Structure 1
Amino acid sequence: MQLTNQAQLIKQMSNREITKHLVYTQLMLFFLALILSLIFFDSFFSEWKSLFHLSVHEWVFYGILPAVCVLLADFIFMASLPQRLYDDGGINEKVFRNQTGTKIIGLTLLIACSEEMLFRGVIQTEFGYLTASLVFAIIHFRYLTKVVLFFSVVSVSFLIGYMYEITHSLPVTITTHFMIDLILALAIRLRK
């Protein structure tokens, strides 16, 4: 019943309203990351600086390559499974279908940065891999009744968390998250 109500609510909202709510939510996650880091980090600036180190080898091997693998798997599953299993209630369609390429890049970059700063930068750094990956999966609660989508989010969450465990580099995880979201959003846009 609740999922039906959510789908009806999404249908009633305009693309602009849904996108606006998405941006506000992501900005809240970004500021939550900053506030929590003020509470938990010993040194706000030096800890954030240490999380933004980047080596080209790590960036390619742990950032870009996993994103490509996830995208390949996703496109294979989307081509072979019934479309209803990938139906998120129309939210992603409403957000990305009519956006310009520039806006899609901006939105997906905002999502990747804010979520990775909170979930990897603060939660995983302070509370561990398992906690961050589970909280990331749970926050995507709209997928809880969609087995394929929920499995995908949980798998990607644990994969990105593992990449962070290896590298302790936010640019690596932001790259993976950004590439996955960007390519899937562009696929929605191009299906128009």
Structure 2
Amino acid sequence: MKQSEMIKLMSDEELKKQLLLSQFIFAVLAIVLSIFLFENIGEWLLYLNWDIQEIIYYGIIPGLIIVFIDILLMLIFPKRFYDDGGINERVFKNQSIGYIFILSLVVAISEELLFRGVIQTTFGYVFASFIFALIHFRYLKKPVLLISVLFVSFYIGYMFETTGNLLVTITAHFTVDFVLGLLIRFRK
């Protein structure tokens, strides 16, 4: 059975539970791998830098630019080119702003800890960016979504290369997910 068929059989609640389970797995994987790949956990924590100016300049502003580009793509291309099978709509539609905030934060933290904090620091920028794009496998058959997620993955990876700050990438990732989640939530 195809993933799209399995997802259609799931209730919205089951879909949300699966999303949270995947994020829990990413977070646990990041922690376990960091224990084995780094000499001590303190080394890993050095990537969390509370430089507010850097977080705004490299996190929030690029996140909003990515959202703007996504909106342009939605206006330019027919829906079939960027539709993810309605998954994002099922996850965000009819949810409270608080829920969208928490979900976006959980996704940003778990994915960035794993992909930038562990994989990119250990195996490099290009490898981590491709792996990040591949986990969004529902986008592989949608060229616009695939190019978009590849661009975002490499862009966020580049920001981590530039700053060495996971809080920057977490902020950028959160900004993208939260704002797009709100747009889905309030779209008529």
Pick the TM interval, shorter chain: over 0.9
- Residue 134 of structure 1 and its aligned partner are, at CA, apart by 0.8
Moved segments of 4+, more than 6 Å: none
Q: Supply the distance in 2 between the matched residues of 1:133 and 1:122 (Cα, whole angstroms).
A: 12
Q: Supply the distance in 2 between the matched residues of 1:65 and 1:22 (Cα, whole angstroms).
A: 27
8 Å contact from structure 1 (residues 6, 89) kept in 2: no
Work out the percentage of aligned pairs sharing the same amino acid: 49
1:171 aligns with 2:167: yes
- Residue 65 of structure 1 and its aligned partner are, at CA, apart by 1.4
Q: Supply the distance in 2 between the matched residues of 1:163 and 1:190 (Cα, whole angstroms).
A: 30
Q: Which residue of the partner structure matches residue 123 of structure 1? A: 119
- Residue 68 of structure 1 and its aligned partner are, at CA, apart by 1.3
- Residue 43 of structure 1 and its aligned partner are, at CA, apart by 0.9
Q: Which residue of the partner structure matches residue 33 of structure 2? A: 36
Paired letter, 2:64: V
Matches within 5 A, 1:1-192: 5-44=2-41, 46-192=42-188
How many residue pairs align between the two structures?
Answer: 188
Q: Supply the distance in 1 between the matched residues of 2:129 and 2:6 (Cα, whole angstroms).
A: 28
Paired letter, 1:39: F
Deviations 1:127-179 (A, max 9, x none): 11011101101111111010000100000000000000011111100000000
- Which deviates the most, 83-92 or 165-174? 83-92
Deviations 1:39-61 (A, max 9, x none): 001111x1132011131221121
Deviations 1:10-66 (A, max 9, x none): 22211100000000000000000000000001111x113201113122112111111
Q: Supply the distance in 1 between the matched residues of 2:96 and 2:174 (Cα, whole angstroms).
A: 17
Q: Supply the distance in 1 between the matched residues of 2:108 and 2:64 (Cα, whole angstroms).
A: 16
* Structure 2: 5+ residue stretches without partners: none
* Structure 1: 5+ residue stretches without partners: none
- Residue 9 of structure 1 and its aligned partner are, at CA, apart by 2.3
**3-state SS in 2 of match to 1:54:** coil
- Which deviates the most, 19-28 or 65-74? 65-74
8 Å contact from structure 1 (residues 11, 90) kept in 2: no
**3-state SS in 1 of match to 2:84:** coil
Q: Supply the distance in 1 between the matched residues of 2:16 and 2:71 (Cα, whole angstroms).
A: 24
Paired letter, 2:12: N
Q: Supply the distance in 2 between the matched residues of 1:38 and 1:8 (Cα, whole angstroms).
A: 38
